[in-house]
Amino acid sequence: MDKTYQGKNMRHYIRYVFPALLLLLLSPCLQAQKNPLLTHVPADTVFFSGNTELVNMADFPLISPSVVPETVLTESQGQGEKAFTFLYQLLLELQQTINASDTQSGSSLFQTQYGLSPTFAGVFYLQQNSPVIKVWVADESVFLQTFERASRISGLDFQLKSYQQQSYRSYALGQDLRLIVAVKNSPDSPATATLAIIHKSINEQQLGLILGLVKPEQSLADTDKLSGIMQQNHYLPQAVSFVDFELLLQSFFKHIETIGIDSAKESSALKEFRTAECQADLTKLIHYMPRLTSGYSHFKYDGSQVDSEFKVLLELNNPNVMAQLKSFRGFIPAYIRNGAEQNIVGMGLGVDLSQLSSMYFYISQAFKNTRFQCKPLLKMQKKIARTNPAMVALMTGVADGIHGIAVAVQKMNLSQKPFELSMIMSIAAENPLRVWQLLAGFNSATAGLTPSQTPQRIHHPVLDAAGIPVFLAIKGQHLALYSGQPAAQYAKALSQEKITGNGLIQETINYSELLKVIRALKQFLNVQEQQLPAQICTYFDETITRISRISGTSQYKSDIVLQGWEHSLQMQLEVAAQQIPSGLTGKFRAYNVGDGCQLEVDGIDEINTDGSGLYHQYSEDQQCFVYETQYRWTQRDNKMQLQYISERNRPEGLCDREFTQWSVPEAEFINDSCDLRVEPNADFACVFYWNNGIQKSVFEHLPD
């Protein structure tokens, strides 16, 4: 297996921390037993996410939230580098396991990878200001191996500590922060694993609560808080989350050191707010926006098909603000509202821009007229008082009368000329002709057109060169630009749609049709003058691999409802089982995906049935081998685990140099893994996720 990457720079995967962690905790299932871990969660926790009823892990799929996370290069030094590498490896393995677990058979790989209990119980919450995750595990040693692997790669060791006869591992994440990992056995239930980030100032009582040695005076299980959230919002009990902003504000005004901020280094802006007057004023304001909640309102999974709706609600208690937000709702056309299956992608933004200045005026006036004692809020009042509402109205007046913008794509084929394209963009407006005159003023090529009920073709050098006919027309209260027959029918139907306030945001994706577009887009981009870089080619391949197993639609909505501002994600998907390659043993010619998406010969790999392997990498001219590594391998479903035993190379990669002596690889390069893929026109492929990105190796069996 190719192990030539020797880069030491680290990459951030931060934006995927919470989706990866919450994906498991928020996945519902059909069980009816209460989650006993709720008794460990304090009733006054600021944040909670978890299943309130036990989950059978085999009954639901894990659908990866991303294909490959975006990375940002970072320079780290000393202890901070070790800590970052440690956390990076934990998150990278989590993402890779979720990716590999995305099969029709459910989450068996995820379960075995971390030693989790088949009957899942998990909670994620704050104990005071320490984030805590508790989860049932069936195999303590397998669970701890995850941290041992990250420790070996990063060089970050742990201290074994104990409190009241409960041992735990302590990993230094910095001068003041520690990650603690503990497993507590129970005679009548699976063992409970605890992960928590704690500050050095934590006291023994808080440590005992985090480790589960003592229970809080009042837990979430003792209150009706979760049941109230579920009843009010019709959430399923297996998946509930909330952020309590009122409790969060109270926590802010307590000891700030417990969240890892040294009071001596606290910014002057924060210090200004940390007064009794500010606490009183902010408490009044936050009462109007007390809580964020989320959960499933519907979930059905039959082994391959998922039919679900997940909702997030920002609760709002101010009737006047609610009235202003409702008046701000605009128009979303029917080809977006009802077009999830007909469109490849669709997006509608419903905003009544004529209400923008009045909403700003109301909010600014309400803020200016509120009596504050908090100095920073008084300063903000003075700044707002100097703002002229007439200027705001003048700036928004150019868009006055617009009630919404929508765009949808029904067909897109870039593999032929002229391109096959069907798409429509429409603007709902009280005076569509005026809107066009404003837009046309920015482009001389269209300034001479006057839209009417009769469609007119727009001639533009780019459109004409691509052979794409685009038409312009006014259809009732809508300005429409469209191309293609399906879009023409949508434009015609707009004539019958009157502008109403029917929503804020709606987006749809048809995965079956999207797959065709991504394949065509890869081919189109790769035949341009500049060929696609190797990593971009692999990103495309991985995207195609995942989407090819998903058919159906997803739909996102954002709107103002009775309780506040609600976001919902509806999915009607069929998830096919991932194909797992067979015939992994033998002698193979190995290729790497290179620039232009071309396969480049890289070496010869001998994969033996006894779990051993020997990889030979060619020189650039393929006249000799310049690098060799001996390794052990194991396969678990569609993931191959690799442990490199020894390696040697020819200095400077020159064939006339003798091989160096066999030596043990550096610690951070001993363990590796790849995701196995069925590869067209080859035996199989391996996708490696490394700190410098992603690499795909393709293996072709050589005759004996």
- Sorted by where each starts, the structural domains of the chain and their CATH numbers stand as 14-223 (no CATH), 330-352+401-503 (no CATH), 586-701 (2.40.128.530)
H or E, element range at 83: helix 78-101
* For the chain, percent of residues with pLDDT exceeding 90: 52
Q: Which long-range contacts (CB under 8 A, 24 or more apart) does 296-301 make?
A: 296/26, 296/28, 296/235, 296/236, 296/238, 296/239, 297/233, 297/234, 297/235, 297/236, 297/568, 298/236, 299/28, 299/236, 299/238, 299/239, 301/29, 301/59, 301/60, 301/61
Q: What is the DSSP string of 190-234?
A: -EEEEEEEEETT--HHHHHHHHTSS--SSBGGGSSHHHHHHHHHT
Overall average pLDDT of the 569-590 stretch: 90
- Beta-carbon count within 10 A of 609 CB: 8
Residue 359 reports pLDDT greater than 50: yes
Residue 348 reports pLDDT greater than 70: yes
Q: Whose CA is closest to 115, among 67, 161, 57, 168?
A: 57
Helix (H, G, I), strand (E, B) or coil at 130: strand
Query: How many degrees, rounded to 5, is the angle at CA 276 between CA 271 and CA 282?
Result: 85
Overall average pLDDT of the 476-498 stretch: 95
pLDDT at residue 80 in the model? 58
Write down the H helix ranges in 102-183: 108-114, 140-154
pLDDT at residue 259 in the model? 44
pLDDT at residue 35 in the model? 93
Distance, CA of 483 to CA of 618 (rounded, Å): 51
Overall average pLDDT of the 591-604 stretch: 94
- Beta-carbon count within 10 A of 459 CB: 12
Distance, CA of 25 to CA of 23 (rounded, Å): 6
Residue for token pair 């996370």: 69
Residue of 442 and 533 predicted with greater confidence? 533
Least confidently predicted of 442-451, 551-560, 573-582: 442-451
Looking at every residue in the chain, the average pLDDT score rounds to 84
| Cβ burial 33-53 (10 Å sphere, 16+ → b, else e) | eebebbebbbebbbebbbbbb
Least confidently predicted of 2-16, 491-505, 668-682: 2-16
Bridge partners of 689?
A: 694
Residue of 8 and 439 predicted with greater confidence? 439
Least confidently predicted of 18-22, 241-245, 401-405: 18-22
CA distances from 677 to 331, 574, 691, 695 (A): 45, 20, 21, 13
* Pair 107, 62: CB distance under 8 Å: yes
**pLDDT tens column, 254-297:** 755 444 444 444 456 677 888 889 999 999 999 999 999 999 99
pLDDT at residue 693 in the model? 80
Distance, CA of 535 to CA of 597 (rounded, Å): 9
Bridge partners of 676?
A: 686
| Cβ burial 657-679 (10 Å sphere, 16+ → b, else e) | eeeeeeeebeeebbbbbbbbbeb
H or E, element range at 93: helix 78-101
Overall average pLDDT of the 614-628 stretch: 95
Residue of 9 and 548 predicted with greater confidence? 548
Overall average pLDDT of the 17-41 stretch: 59
pLDDT at residue 27 in the model? 43
Overall average pLDDT of the 673-677 stretch: 90
* For the chain, percent of residues with pLDDT exceeding 70: 85
Confidence of residue 18 (pLDDT cuts 50, 70, 90): very low
Burial of 485 (0-12, 13-18, 19+ CB in 10 A): exposed
Q: How far apart are the first and last CA of the chain?
A: 19
Overall average pLDDT of the 503-517 stretch: 92
Overall average pLDDT of the 91-108 stretch: 66
Q: Whose CA is closest to 95, among 77, 110, 106, 112?
A: 110
Overall average pLDDT of the 237-248 stretch: 90
Confidence of residue 8 (pLDDT cuts 50, 70, 90): very low
Least confidently predicted of 22-31, 211-220, 317-326, 572-581: 22-31
Distance, CA of 426 to CA of 579 (rounded, Å): 42
Structure tokens at 82: 């070790």
In this structure, the dihedral spanned by the alpha carbons of residues 350, 353, 355 and 361, taken in order and rounded to 10 degrees, is 130
H or E, element range at 364: helix 356-369
Least confidently predicted of 72-81, 140-149, 260-269, 315-324: 72-81
Overall average pLDDT of the 45-58 stretch: 88
Least confidently predicted of 81-90, 270-279, 388-397, 597-606: 388-397
Distance, CA of 107 to CA of 28 (rounded, Å): 13
Least confidently predicted of 102-111, 307-316, 490-499, 677-686: 102-111
Least confidently predicted of 483-492, 520-529, 564-573: 520-529
H or E, element range at 95: helix 78-101
Q: Name the DSSP letter for residue 664.
A: P
691 CB contacts (<8 Å, ≥6 apart)?
5, 7, 8, 9, 10, 11, 88
Burial of 412 (0-12, 13-18, 19+ CB in 10 A): buried
Residue 367 reports pLDDT greater than 90: no
Query: How many degrees, rounded to 5, is the angle at CA 335 between CA 462 and CA 512?
Result: 75
Q: Whose CA is closest to 329, among 556, 565, 493?
A: 565
Residue for token pair 């799929």: 61
Residue for token pair 């996102």: 556
Distance, CA of 118 to CA of 142 (rounded, Å): 14
pLDDT at residue 419 in the model? 78
pTM over 0.85: no
Confidence of residue 210 (pLDDT cuts 50, 70, 90): very high
In this structure, the dihedral spanned by the alpha carbons of residues 96, 99, 105 and 110, taken in order and rounded to 10 degrees, is 30
Overall average pLDDT of the 313-330 stretch: 91
Overall average pLDDT of the 11-20 stretch: 35
pLDDT at residue 100 in the model? 62
Residue 402 reports pLDDT greater than 80: yes
